[in-house]
Amino acid sequence: MTGQWPAVAAVLATALAMGAVAGCGSICLKLAAAEATQMPTDATEEKLKGYDITSTGLEPRYPRDYVCPALTSLYASWIDVDRTRRDERHSGIDGGRLGDAILAPAPGTVRRVWVADWGQGHEGALLIVHTREDLNLSEGSKFYYAEFDHLKYGDISGLKEGQRIARGERIASVYRPGGKRRYLPEVHLEVYEVGEDDALTWGVSERGTEYFKNPTSRLIDPLYLLSLEVRPSWRLEVPITPFEPQRDYSVFKGFTYFLSCRKRSG
Protein backbone atom coordinates (compact mmCIF):
# COMPACT_ATOMS: atom_id res chain seq x y z
CA MET A 1 0.00 0.00 0.00
CA THR A 2 2.81 2.48 0.76
CA GLY A 3 3.84 2.50 -2.86
CA GLN A 4 0.54 4.16 -3.78
CA TRP A 5 1.28 7.34 -1.83
CA PRO A 6 3.32 9.26 -4.48
CA ALA A 7 0.49 8.88 -6.98
CA VAL A 8 -2.13 9.84 -4.39
CA ALA A 9 -0.09 12.88 -3.35
CA ALA A 10 0.26 14.00 -6.95
CA VAL A 11 -3.49 13.80 -7.51
CA LEU A 12 -4.16 15.68 -4.30
CA ALA A 13 -1.67 18.41 -5.09
CA THR A 14 -3.41 19.00 -8.41
CA ALA A 15 -6.85 18.98 -6.80
CA LEU A 16 -5.78 21.41 -4.10
CA ALA A 17 -4.22 23.72 -6.65
CA MET A 18 -7.48 23.78 -8.58
CA GLY A 19 -9.50 24.47 -5.44
CA ALA A 20 -11.38 21.20 -5.73
CA VAL A 21 -11.00 20.57 -2.01
CA ALA A 22 -10.74 24.15 -0.80
CA GLY A 23 -10.59 24.41 2.96
CA CYS A 24 -9.42 20.83 3.32
CA GLY A 25 -5.68 21.51 3.02
CA SER A 26 -3.18 19.55 5.06
CA ILE A 27 -5.74 17.27 6.69
CA CYS A 28 -6.62 15.88 3.24
CA LEU A 29 -2.98 15.18 2.55
CA LYS A 30 -2.62 13.46 5.92
CA LEU A 31 -5.72 11.38 5.26
CA ALA A 32 -4.42 10.37 1.85
CA ALA A 33 -1.15 9.31 3.47
CA ALA A 34 -3.09 7.37 6.09
CA GLU A 35 -5.19 5.80 3.35
CA ALA A 36 -2.07 4.77 1.45
CA THR A 37 -0.26 3.35 4.47
CA GLN A 38 -3.32 2.26 6.47
CA MET A 39 -1.67 3.91 9.48
CA PRO A 40 -3.58 7.07 10.54
CA THR A 41 -1.49 9.37 12.72
CA ASP A 42 -2.44 10.74 16.13
CA ALA A 43 -2.40 14.26 14.67
CA THR A 44 -4.83 13.25 11.94
CA GLU A 45 -7.12 11.54 14.44
CA GLU A 46 -7.18 14.63 16.67
CA LYS A 47 -8.20 16.84 13.74
CA LEU A 48 -10.94 14.38 12.80
CA LYS A 49 -12.31 14.47 16.35
CA GLY A 50 -12.59 18.26 16.37
CA TYR A 51 -12.25 18.71 20.11
CA ASP A 52 -14.39 21.40 21.74
CA ILE A 53 -16.42 22.32 18.63
CA THR A 54 -13.52 22.69 16.23
CA SER A 55 -14.54 22.16 12.62
CA THR A 56 -13.43 18.79 11.20
CA GLY A 57 -14.70 19.07 7.64
CA LEU A 58 -16.26 15.62 7.93
CA GLU A 59 -19.39 15.11 5.83
CA PRO A 60 -21.68 12.08 5.53
CA ARG A 61 -21.78 9.88 2.43
CA TYR A 62 -24.98 7.86 2.35
CA PRO A 63 -25.09 4.30 0.96
CA ARG A 64 -26.55 3.91 -2.51
CA ASP A 65 -28.56 0.82 -1.64
CA TYR A 66 -30.34 2.43 1.33
CA VAL A 67 -32.60 5.43 1.85
CA CYS A 68 -31.42 7.18 5.00
CA PRO A 69 -32.82 10.29 6.72
CA ALA A 70 -30.25 12.99 6.10
CA LEU A 71 -28.24 15.04 8.54
CA THR A 72 -29.42 18.63 8.34
CA SER A 73 -26.79 20.48 10.39
CA LEU A 74 -23.23 19.35 11.01
CA TYR A 75 -20.79 19.69 13.89
CA ALA A 76 -19.24 23.15 14.40
CA SER A 77 -21.50 24.56 11.68
CA TRP A 78 -22.89 28.09 11.87
CA ILE A 79 -25.92 27.07 9.77
CA ASP A 80 -29.08 25.75 11.42
CA VAL A 81 -31.56 23.22 10.03
CA ASP A 82 -33.74 26.07 8.67
CA ARG A 83 -30.66 27.56 6.93
CA THR A 84 -30.50 30.54 9.27
CA ARG A 85 -27.22 31.52 10.95
CA ARG A 86 -26.67 30.30 14.51
CA ASP A 87 -25.50 32.49 17.38
CA GLU A 88 -22.70 30.01 18.10
CA ARG A 89 -21.08 26.98 16.53
CA HIS A 90 -23.15 23.80 16.56
CA SER A 91 -22.17 21.41 19.36
CA GLY A 92 -23.44 18.28 17.63
CA ILE A 93 -25.25 17.04 14.54
CA ASP A 94 -28.96 17.25 13.69
CA GLY A 95 -31.04 15.09 11.40
CA GLY A 96 -34.22 13.24 10.65
CA ARG A 97 -37.82 13.88 9.76
CA LEU A 98 -40.81 13.91 12.09
CA GLY A 99 -41.46 10.39 13.36
CA ASP A 100 -38.25 8.80 12.05
CA ALA A 101 -36.94 6.07 14.34
CA ILE A 102 -33.90 7.02 16.44
CA LEU A 103 -31.63 4.02 17.06
CA ALA A 104 -28.90 3.38 19.59
CA PRO A 105 -25.64 3.75 17.60
CA ALA A 106 -23.82 1.13 19.69
CA PRO A 107 -24.32 -1.01 22.80
CA GLY A 108 -24.39 1.14 25.90
CA THR A 109 -25.96 1.92 29.27
CA VAL A 110 -28.60 4.50 30.06
CA ARG A 111 -26.95 7.14 32.20
CA ARG A 112 -29.87 9.53 32.57
CA VAL A 113 -33.34 10.36 31.24
CA TRP A 114 -34.46 13.89 32.04
CA VAL A 115 -36.52 16.91 31.09
CA ALA A 116 -34.26 19.53 29.52
CA ASP A 117 -34.74 23.06 28.25
CA TRP A 118 -32.12 24.47 25.88
CA GLY A 119 -34.13 27.60 25.15
CA GLN A 120 -36.95 26.21 23.00
CA GLY A 121 -39.02 24.77 25.85
CA HIS A 122 -39.24 21.57 27.87
CA GLU A 123 -38.31 18.37 26.04
CA GLY A 124 -36.89 14.92 26.67
CA ALA A 125 -33.16 14.28 26.80
CA LEU A 126 -31.26 11.01 27.01
CA LEU A 127 -27.64 10.30 27.96
CA ILE A 128 -26.09 6.94 27.05
CA VAL A 129 -22.60 5.93 28.12
CA HIS A 130 -20.58 3.62 25.87
CA THR A 131 -17.42 1.93 27.10
CA ARG A 132 -14.37 1.45 24.92
CA GLU A 133 -15.25 -2.24 24.87
CA ASP A 134 -18.82 -1.49 23.71
CA LEU A 135 -17.29 0.18 20.66
CA ASN A 136 -14.74 -2.61 20.09
CA LEU A 137 -11.84 -0.19 20.54
CA SER A 138 -8.50 -1.32 21.92
CA GLU A 139 -7.23 2.17 22.81
CA GLY A 140 -8.42 5.69 23.41
CA SER A 141 -10.85 7.05 25.98
CA LYS A 142 -12.41 4.70 28.50
CA PHE A 143 -15.91 6.06 27.90
CA TYR A 144 -17.99 7.97 25.36
CA TYR A 145 -21.26 9.82 25.98
CA ALA A 146 -24.04 10.04 23.41
CA GLU A 147 -26.55 12.75 24.32
CA PHE A 148 -29.84 12.88 22.41
CA ASP A 149 -31.93 16.06 22.60
CA HIS A 150 -35.24 17.40 21.24
CA LEU A 151 -37.02 14.15 22.16
CA LYS A 152 -40.57 13.60 23.30
CA TYR A 153 -40.22 12.78 26.99
CA GLY A 154 -42.93 10.13 26.75
CA ASP A 155 -40.78 8.19 24.27
CA ILE A 156 -37.95 7.77 26.74
CA SER A 157 -39.64 7.92 30.15
CA GLY A 158 -39.68 4.12 30.37
CA LEU A 159 -35.90 3.87 30.14
CA LYS A 160 -34.14 3.44 33.49
CA GLU A 161 -30.70 4.51 34.63
CA GLY A 162 -28.34 1.53 34.38
CA GLN A 163 -30.45 -0.20 31.72
CA ARG A 164 -28.45 -1.81 28.93
CA ILE A 165 -29.23 -0.73 25.38
CA ALA A 166 -28.44 -2.84 22.32
CA ARG A 167 -27.00 -1.49 19.09
CA GLY A 168 -29.89 -0.62 16.77
CA GLU A 169 -32.50 -0.59 19.53
CA ARG A 170 -35.20 2.00 18.91
CA ILE A 171 -34.94 4.60 21.67
CA ALA A 172 -37.29 7.35 20.43
CA SER A 173 -38.75 9.07 17.38
CA VAL A 174 -37.68 12.35 15.82
CA TYR A 175 -39.65 15.20 17.37
CA ARG A 176 -39.37 19.00 17.57
CA PRO A 177 -37.21 21.22 19.80
CA GLY A 178 -39.23 21.98 22.89
CA GLY A 179 -42.13 20.09 21.31
CA LYS A 180 -43.15 23.29 19.52
CA ARG A 181 -44.55 23.28 15.99
CA ARG A 182 -42.72 26.46 15.05
CA TYR A 183 -39.44 24.49 15.07
CA LEU A 184 -38.53 22.06 12.31
CA PRO A 185 -38.31 18.40 13.38
CA GLU A 186 -34.85 17.10 14.25
CA VAL A 187 -32.91 15.01 16.71
CA HIS A 188 -29.73 16.56 18.09
CA LEU A 189 -26.81 14.24 18.91
CA GLU A 190 -23.76 15.28 20.90
CA VAL A 191 -20.80 12.96 21.51
CA TYR A 192 -18.16 13.30 24.22
CA GLU A 193 -14.90 11.53 24.91
CA VAL A 194 -14.86 10.82 28.64
CA GLY A 195 -11.96 9.95 30.89
CA GLU A 196 -13.89 9.04 34.04
CA ASP A 197 -17.61 8.37 34.07
CA ASP A 198 -17.64 8.66 37.88
CA ALA A 199 -16.83 12.38 37.52
CA LEU A 200 -20.34 13.04 36.15
CA THR A 201 -22.41 15.54 38.15
CA TRP A 202 -25.66 17.39 37.54
CA GLY A 203 -26.60 21.04 37.85
CA VAL A 204 -29.80 23.04 37.49
CA SER A 205 -30.02 25.72 34.81
CA GLU A 206 -31.63 29.15 35.10
CA ARG A 207 -34.65 27.59 33.39
CA GLY A 208 -34.98 25.11 36.25
CA THR A 209 -33.99 21.99 34.32
CA GLU A 210 -31.02 19.67 34.67
CA TYR A 211 -27.78 19.60 32.70
CA PHE A 212 -24.71 17.45 33.18
CA LYS A 213 -21.09 18.32 33.91
CA ASN A 214 -18.02 16.13 33.65
CA PRO A 215 -14.59 17.80 33.80
CA THR A 216 -13.02 14.76 32.11
CA SER A 217 -15.25 15.01 29.02
CA ARG A 218 -14.65 16.78 25.71
CA LEU A 219 -17.01 17.28 22.81
CA ILE A 220 -16.05 15.61 19.54
CA ASP A 221 -17.66 15.38 16.11
CA PRO A 222 -20.20 12.52 16.19
CA LEU A 223 -19.20 11.69 12.62
CA TYR A 224 -15.83 10.63 13.99
CA LEU A 225 -17.36 7.63 15.79
CA LEU A 226 -19.30 6.87 12.61
CA SER A 227 -15.99 6.70 10.73
CA LEU A 228 -14.08 4.09 12.74
CA GLU A 229 -15.21 0.94 10.93
CA VAL A 230 -14.74 2.47 7.47
CA ARG A 231 -12.32 5.40 7.58
CA PRO A 232 -13.03 8.75 5.94
CA SER A 233 -11.87 9.29 2.39
CA TRP A 234 -9.27 11.95 1.61
CA ARG A 235 -12.25 14.17 0.76
CA LEU A 236 -13.33 13.81 4.41
CA GLU A 237 -16.43 11.85 3.44
CA VAL A 238 -17.68 9.46 6.13
CA PRO A 239 -19.46 6.38 4.72
CA ILE A 240 -22.70 6.04 6.68
CA THR A 241 -23.28 2.48 7.92
CA PRO A 242 -27.00 1.73 8.44
CA PHE A 243 -27.96 -0.67 11.20
CA GLU A 244 -28.92 -4.07 9.77
CA PRO A 245 -30.75 -6.38 12.24
CA GLN A 246 -29.24 -9.60 10.89
CA ARG A 247 -25.64 -8.40 10.79
CA ASP A 248 -22.98 -9.56 13.25
CA TYR A 249 -21.51 -6.49 14.99
CA SER A 250 -19.31 -8.35 17.45
CA VAL A 251 -16.14 -6.77 16.03
CA PHE A 252 -17.64 -3.62 14.48
CA LYS A 253 -15.80 -0.47 15.56
CA GLY A 254 -17.62 2.66 16.65
CA PHE A 255 -21.13 3.80 15.74
CA THR A 256 -23.66 2.69 13.19
CA TYR A 257 -26.14 5.31 11.92
CA PHE A 258 -28.51 6.54 14.61
CA LEU A 259 -31.47 7.04 12.24
CA SER A 260 -33.32 4.11 10.68
CA CYS A 261 -32.60 3.49 6.98
CA ARG A 262 -34.60 1.34 4.58
CA LYS A 263 -33.25 -0.87 1.85
CA ARG A 264 -34.03 0.31 -1.68
CA SER A 265 -36.33 -2.04 -3.56
CA GLY A 266 -35.10 -3.72 -6.72
Give me the helix-helix angle, 5-17 and 25-37, nearest 10°.
160
Answer yes or no: is pLDDT of 2 > 50.
Answer: no
Answer yes or no: is pLDDT of 27 > 90.
Answer: no
d(CA 44, CA 58): 12
pLDDT digits (tens, 9 = 90+) for 77-124: 987 777 788 888 999 999 999 999 999 999 999 999 999 999 999 999
Backbone φ and ψ of 126, nearest 5°: -135, 130
pLDDT digits (tens, 9 = 90+) for 220-262: 999 999 999 999 999 999 999 999 999 999 999 999 999 999 9
- What is the distance in angstroms between the CA of the first residue and the CA of the last residue of the chain? 36
* Contacts (Cβ under 8 Å, ≥6 apart) of 51: 193, 218, 219, 220
pLDDT digits (tens, 9 = 90+) for 28-65: 555 555 554 444 577 789 999 999 999 999 999 999 99
Rg of the Cα trace of the chain? 19
Spell out the domains of the chain, with CATH numbers in brackets. Answer: 58-263 (2.70.70.10)
Give the pLDDT score at 68: 98
Give the pLDDT score at 88: 86
Average pLDDT of the segment spanning 203-209: 96
* Contacts (Cβ under 8 Å, ≥6 apart) of 212: 112, 127, 147, 200, 201, 202, 203
- Whole-number mean pLDDT of the chain? 88
Q: Using pLDDT thresholds of 50, 70 and 90, give the confidence band for residue 187.
A: very high
